[in-house]
């Protein structure tokens, strides 16, 4: 066996293992996007087939089409490394960055977890409670908010999207929503949805009539969107069972003030809910998380942008934005 053939064998074995590892990471991390699932599975299968042919002996291929097919299969191995890099950053993006400027609230009375004149962040050790500085809360669709916009103090994903699509349509946003006074009705309203609205300088959570709340916000020139209701008047209205831990986020009302609450680390949903109840969250809606969907950042008291989850994806198209 020549040196070139040995190097080819080492390359194919390495790419086969890397493709299997990338698919396993994709599967275990539950980064469920049907198209990408098919891509990673296909890539892993192709590497396996290529390796089997190599071990059998590509010189035994006699027909021209067989030789061309083997070359194409071999060429597919060069897609493994960029695919692995993408999935690696996708996995990393599911971990929350530490916020060293957060205020230790582990021993603070719950009633003292309050907004300040600037964006304030508290940590209980289990969750971060984030009070962005704001005078307005908006829903932004289609074009991702820019970090260079110095009026923005918080940005994160808002409503679900019905399908994964590069192109944007208002109909793909699940739940009725209002953008600066314009109402967009959705064919994908769910009974479990609640509405968050901001109009006339006031925020509101509505559980009984979310469609009416969104309509009223639009008529008042405000903003709003729908998400799964999480906590209503201090009581759980949403329970989900997940076999694995992950980072969670909610848009919530605490001590009469609007805030975002993120888990500090990956944890089970019931532990996240227990902490929300412990600190006395009054009302809350669920916020989507996962690779790309958890993209978020805030502007701190020193006017610097701090990125919490830094992997934007081109098929994410709506965000809740706090402006000062």
pLDDT tens-digit readout, 279-292: 999 999 999 877 66
Residue 121 is predicted with a pLDDT of: 97
Split into its structural domains, the chain has a count of: 2
| Cβ-based neighbour number of residue 29 at 10 Å | 16
128 SS3 class: strand
Residue where a domain terminates, one of 92, 125, 157 = 92
Q: Domain for residue 98, yes or no?
A: no
Q: Both 30 and 161 in a single domain?
A: no
Q: Both 80 and 157 in a single domain?
A: no
The pair phi, psi for residue 28, each rounded to 5°, is: -65, -40
Q: Would strands 120-123 and 281-287 be described as parallel, antiparallel, or unpaired?
A: unpaired
Host domain of residue 28: 3-92
Q: Domain for residue 190, yes or no?
A: yes
Residue where a domain terminates, one of 28, 57, 92 = 92
183: which strand partners?
Answer: 178
The structure's pTM equals 0.76
Q: Domain for residue 280, yes or no?
A: yes
Q: Domain for residue 66, yes or no?
A: yes
Quick one: the chain helix, strand, coil %, rounded to 5?
Answer: 35, 30, 40
Residue where a domain terminates, one of 67, 92, 117 = 92
Instruction: Classify residue 282 by its DSSP letter.
Output: E
pLDDT in tens, the chain (324 residues): 688 888 888 999 999 999 988 888 777 655 555 567 788 888 899 999 999 998 888 888 889 999 999 899 999 999 899 888 877 766 656 667 889 899 999 989 999 999 999 999 999 999 999 999 999 999 999 999 999 999 999 999 999 988 878 889 999 999 999 999 999 999 999 999 999 999 999 999 999 999 999 999 999 999 999 999 999 999 999 877 765 667 899 999 999 999 999 999 888 899 999 999 999 999 999 998 776 678 899 999 999 999 998 777 888 899 999 999
Q: Both 269 and 164 in a single domain?
A: yes
């Amino acid at each position: 066996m020549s040196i070139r053939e040995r190097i080819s064998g080492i390359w194919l074995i390495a790419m086969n293992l890397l493709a299997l590892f990338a698919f396993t990471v994709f599967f275990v991390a539950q980064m469920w996007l049907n198209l990408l699932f098919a891509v990673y599975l296909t890539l892993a299968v192709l590497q396996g087939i290529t390796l089997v042919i190599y071990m059998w002996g590509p010189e035994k291929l006699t027909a021209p089409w067989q030789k061309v097919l083997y070359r194409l299969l071999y060429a597919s191995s060069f897609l493994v490394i960029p695919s692995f890099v993408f999935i690696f950053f996708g996995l990393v993006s599911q971990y929350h960055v530490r916020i060293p400027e957060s205020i230790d609230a582990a021993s603070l009375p719950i009633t003292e977890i309050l907004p300040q004149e600037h964006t304030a962040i508290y940590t209980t050790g289990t969750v971060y409670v984030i009070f962005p500085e704001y005078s307005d809360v908006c829903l932004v669709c289609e074009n991702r908010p820019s970090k260079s916009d110095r009026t923005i103090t918080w940005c994160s994903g808002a409503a679900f999207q019905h399908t994964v699509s590069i192109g944007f349509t208002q109909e793909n946003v699940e739940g009725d929503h209002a953008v600066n006074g314009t109402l967009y009705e959705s064919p994908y309203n769910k009974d479990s949805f609640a509405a968050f609205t901001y109009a006339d300088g006031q925020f509101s959570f509505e559980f009984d009539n979310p469609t009416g709340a969104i309509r009223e916000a639009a008529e008042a020139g405000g903003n709003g969107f729908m998400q799964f209701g999480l906590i209503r008047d201090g009581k759980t209205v949403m329970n989900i069972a997940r076999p694995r831990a992950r980072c969670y986020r909610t848009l919530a009302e605490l001590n009469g003030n609007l805030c975002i609450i993120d888990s500090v680390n990956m944890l089970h949903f019931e532990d996240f809910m227990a902490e929300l109840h412990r600190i006395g969250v009054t009302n809350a809606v669920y916020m989507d998380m996962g690779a790309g969907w958890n993209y978020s950042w805030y502007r701190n008291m020193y006017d610097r942008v701090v990125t919490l989850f830094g992997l934007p994806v081109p098929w994410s198209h709506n965000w809740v934005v706090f402006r000062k």
